[in-house]
């Protein structure tokens, strides 16, 4: 690693030198020629570890093994959370604010939306009686104010 850093700092001289990890020769320790593994010789597929490899693992990845009780833990946690959030928890000011209608938050929204719906219904030949009635109510409320 140090030699690699030195090589990178030297620049183009890096390509002139070989920075491979040095491995001791096995020939010096073996007594027979047959003990040496030759990298140039073909590898027999039926005796290699590659014959046990499944293509599914290459495409989908290694299958994660889960504990047998994991779904039960998740189900229990979710049930406790929903029980707390939906039943036990008291309402706060945010909940009360969310109960308000959008029309009460934005002034004039209901009237604009009703006018757009009225135009759409007239263009498509749909019923407009309820829309006109609500628009009249809104106009009367405006007149009072």
Structural domains counted in the chain: 1
Which pLDDT tens digits describe the chain residue by residue (145 residues)?
455 455 555 454 444 444 455 555 555 555 555 555 567 888 888 888 888 888 887 887 777 788 999 999 999 999 999 999 999 999 899 988 888 999 988 999 999 999 999 999 999 999 999 999 999 999 999 999 7
Containing domain of residue 106, as a range?
A: 102-144
Q: Computed from CA positions of residues 68, 69, 72, 74, in that sequence, does the dihedral angle turn out positive or negative?
A: negative
- Domain membership flag for residue 117: yes
Comparing CA positions, the residue from 91, 92, 88 lying closest to residue 80 is: 88
- Domain membership flag for residue 129: yes
- Entry pTM: 0.41
Cα Rg, the chain, nearest whole Å: 39
- Domain membership flag for residue 77: no
- Domain membership flag for residue 122: yes
């Amino acid at each position: 690693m140090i030699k690699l850093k030195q090589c990178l700092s030297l620049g183009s001289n890096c390509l002139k030198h070989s920075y491979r990890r040095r491995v001791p020769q096995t020939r010096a320790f073996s007594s027979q020629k047959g003990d040496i593994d030759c990298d140039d010789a073909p590898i027999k597929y039926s005796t290699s570890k590659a014959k046990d490899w499944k293509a599914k693992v290459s495409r989908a990845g290694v299958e994660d093994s889960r504990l047998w009780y994991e779904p039960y833990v998740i189900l229990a946690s979710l049930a406790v959370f929903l029980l707390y959030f939906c039943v036990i928890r008291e309402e706060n000011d945010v909940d009360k604010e969310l109960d308000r209608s959008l029309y009460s938050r934005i002034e004039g929204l209901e009237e604009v939306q009703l006018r757009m719906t009225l135009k759409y219904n007239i263009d498509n030949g749909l019923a407009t009686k309820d829309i006109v009635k609500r628009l009249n109510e809104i106009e009367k409320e405006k007149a009072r104010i």
